[in-house]
Amino acid sequence: MKNVKMFVWLTQLGLSVALPPLGFVYLAVRLRERFALGNWVIFAGIALGILCAIDGLRSSLKAMEKMSEPKDKPQLPVSFNDHD
């Protein structure tokens, strides 16, 4: 069961990294064609896609790390300065 969960998370990781750049570039090309904008729109789409892919990678890795932690680890109380 754990292997299936890791496979699902690995698939999610791939999708959250690959789809944002593709989607933003597609959207940028459509905007350039529809509204006769310059090539700067494509560069903005690439930049936004890369930023969203980095954020998706970071959040997926954080979720995978949290999932791999042992469940029986005692929770320590959170001090005032340690809040997220």
Q: What is the pLDDT of residues 8-22, one digit of tens each?
A: 888 888 899 999 999
- Distance from C-alpha of 37 to C-alpha of 58, rounded to nearest angstrom: 32
Q: In angstroms, how far apart are the furthest CA atoms of the chain?
A: 59
Count of CB atoms situated within 10 Å of the CB of 77:
5
The per-residue pLDDT of the chain, averaged, comes to 87
- What's the predicted TM-score (pTM) here? 0.74
Beta-carbon contacts of 45 under 8 Å, excluding residues fewer than 6 positions away, are 24, 25, 27, 28, 29, 31
| CB-based contact 22:52 (threshold 8 Å) | no
| Amino acid in the structure at residue 4 | V
